[in-house]
């Protein structure tokens, strides 16, 4: 803060100039109860980047059917993975933020926010600006670009800036699906995970969050980004991975092959020992801990699978944080000298 004595009377306080990094992820309910999940799903599923059906048609379906059925089922699923620190997604994003404090020097403030729920992107951007951040790197933590994740997070940030008299300059973290630093971090983490198992997997399944098939046809690069990550990771590990897509939502056709069906079919093909990873998630969450590690295991074992291991996401591991530090430092070039 500049000393008040050198500012003319009535002049607003001027904080010391800083650079900001805002880590963002999807968002998660405040609690594993039906009411909190309903509030979260109402916001999430009203985003027109997520459900591209015209609101006049979609909102009655959402309010009349989905929000009266899904929250209870989803709350039961959340309850199975809820931790002492709350939702795993929030707890891990918070831990990533903590691990990156001071990583880019004293003049760089690192913070975190969620696209849906709290802490919100507008609230944290305003706090950063108030603290003196005149340049902010918004970092949606999605390795693969997707309109329903990366773009909507960036939209929210720009929407917040639209309301500011004095806007900070903004940069956004590009997708890093084929970045050597990301592939190496994944490979290192997978190799360590596999080495710690008491069995040798016959195959590694790489499960990415699904998307409607239509988004691929309309030009969203998400599918290609996932496939490229899978290919590069397989090349680095020295054996091809089985790429699949999980978490189908609604009646439209989604990207294939579906993870649940893939897991059910593997034992009949003689593959009874597998490790499964989720390279598209920068933090473990409901979709990995419940859908893959619990339900995925059940599907696989019911069909004759004998050995199943879910390997965690990069999360706030040393290798994961070092990867984020490297990617973010690169994007801060020209803004921060000693990053």
332 interface partner picked from ligand L6N33NVT, Fe ion, none, CB below 5 to 8 A per type: none
Residue 287 interacts with ligand L6N33NVT (CB under 6 A)?
yes
Residues 6+ apart with CB under 8 A from 17: 107, 132, 134
Bridge partners, 205 (sequence order): 242, 276
Q: Is 287 annotated as a binding residue?
A: yes
> Comparing C-alpha atoms, which of 22, 44, 43 is closest to residue 124?
22
d(CA 315, CA 45): 25
At 169 the three-state DSSP class reads strand
Binds ligand L6N33NVT (CB under 6 A): choice among 108, 125, 148, 160 = 148
Residue 158 interacts with ligand L6N33NVT (CB under 6 A)?
no
Binds Fe ion (CB under 5 A): choice among 224, 237, 294, 319 = 224
Binding range to ligand L6N33NVT, per CB under 6 A, among 6-14, 100-108, 140-148, 323-331: 140-148
Binds ligand L6N33NVT (CB under 6 A): choice among 281, 300, 310, 335 = 281
Residue 285 interacts with ligand L6N33NVT (CB under 6 A)?
yes
Binding range to Fe ion, per CB under 5 A, among 27-35, 62-70, 111-119, 222-230: 222-230
Residue 149 interacts with ligand L6N33NVT (CB under 6 A)?
yes
d(CA 299, CA 313): 21
223 interface partner picked from ligand L6N33NVT, Fe ion, none, CB below 5 to 8 A per type: Fe ion
Burial class (CB in 10 A: 0-12, 13-18, 19+), 48: middle
Residue 274 interacts with ligand L6N33NVT (CB under 6 A)?
no
Here the tokens at position 85 are 């620190």
Residue 115 interacts with Fe ion (CB under 5 A)?
no
Question: Binding to ligand L6N33NVT (CB under 6 A): which residues in 61-100?
Answer: 70, 74, 87, 89
Instruction: Give the containing element (helix H, strand E) for 60.
Output: helix 55-61
Give the strands of the sheet with 18-25, arranged side by side. Answer: 108-114, 18-25, 133-140, 169-172
297 interface partner picked from ligand L6N33NVT, Fe ion, none, CB below 5 to 8 A per type: none
d(CA 222, CA 235): 20
Nearer to ligand L6N33NVT by Cβ, of 285 and 309: the residue is 285
Buried b (16+ CB within 10 A) or exposed e, 8-47: eeeeeeeeeebbbbbbbbbbbbebbebebbbbbbeebbbe
Residue 335 interacts with ligand L6N33NVT (CB under 6 A)?
no
Binds ligand L6N33NVT (CB under 6 A): choice among 209, 223, 225, 273 = 209
Buried b (16+ CB within 10 A) or exposed e, 271-296: bbbbbbbbbbbbbbbbbbbbbbbebb
Q: Is 11 annotated as a binding residue?
A: no
Nearer to ligand L6N33NVT by Cβ, of 92 and 332: the residue is 92
Residues 6+ apart with CB under 8 A from 197: 275, 309
> Comparing C-alpha atoms, which of 73, 78, 70 is closest to residue 27?
78
241 interface partner picked from ligand L6N33NVT, Fe ion, none, CB below 5 to 8 A per type: none
d(CA 135, CA 182): 25
Binds ligand L6N33NVT (CB under 6 A): choice among 19, 22, 32, 50 = 50
Nearer to ligand L6N33NVT by Cβ, of 70 and 94: the residue is 70
Which residues are annotated as part of the binding site for Fe(2+)?
209, 287
Residues of this chain that interact with Fe ion (CB under 5 A) are: 223-224
Q: Which residues bind to ligand L6N33NVT, rule: CB under 6 A? A: 26, 28, 41, 50, 70, 74, 87, 89, 142, 146, 148-149, 209, 211-212, 247, 249, 280-281, 285-287
């Amino acid at each position: 803060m500049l000393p008040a004595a050198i500012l003319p009377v009535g002049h607003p306080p001027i904080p010391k100039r800083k650079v900001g990094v805002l880590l963002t992820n999807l968002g998660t309910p405040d609690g594993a109860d039906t009411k909190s999940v309903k509030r979260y799903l109402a916001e999430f599923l009203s985003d027109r980047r997520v459900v591209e059906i015209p609101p006049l048609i979609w909102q009655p379906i959402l309010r009349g059917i989905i929000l009266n059925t899904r929250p209870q089922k989803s709350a039961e699923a959340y309850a199975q993975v809820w931790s002492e620190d709350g939702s795993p997604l929030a707890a891990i994003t918070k831990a990533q933020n903590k691990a990156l404090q001071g990583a880019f020097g004293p003049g760089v403030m690192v913070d975190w926010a969620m696209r849906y729920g709290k802490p919100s992107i507008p609230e944290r951007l305003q706090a950063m600006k108030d603290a003196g951040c005149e340049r902010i790197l918004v970092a949606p933590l999605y390795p693969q670009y997707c309109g329903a994740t990366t773009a909507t997070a960036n939209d929210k940030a720009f929407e917040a800036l639209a309301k500011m008299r004095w806007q900070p300059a903004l940069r956004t973290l590009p997708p890093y699906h084929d970045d050597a630093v990301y592939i190496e971090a994944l490979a290192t983490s997978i190799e360590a995970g596999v080495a710690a198992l008491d069995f040798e997997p016959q195959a590694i399944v790489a499960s990415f969050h699904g998307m409607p098939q239509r988004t691929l046809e309309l030009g969203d690069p998400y599918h290609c980004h996932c496939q490229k990550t899978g290919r590069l990771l397989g090349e680095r590990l020295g054996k091809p991975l089985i790429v699949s897509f999980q978490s189908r939502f609604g009646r439209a056709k989604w990207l294939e092959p579906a993870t649940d069906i893939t897991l059910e079919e593997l034992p009949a093909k003689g593959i009874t020992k597998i490790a499964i990873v989720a390279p598209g998630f920068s933090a473990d969450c409901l979709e990995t801990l419940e859908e893959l590690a619990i339900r995925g295991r059940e599907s696989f074992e019911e069909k004759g699978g004998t050995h199943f291991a879910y390997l965690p996401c990069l999360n706030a591991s040393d290798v994961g944080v070092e990867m984020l530090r490297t990617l973010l430092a690169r994007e801060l070039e020209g803004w921060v000298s000693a990053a």
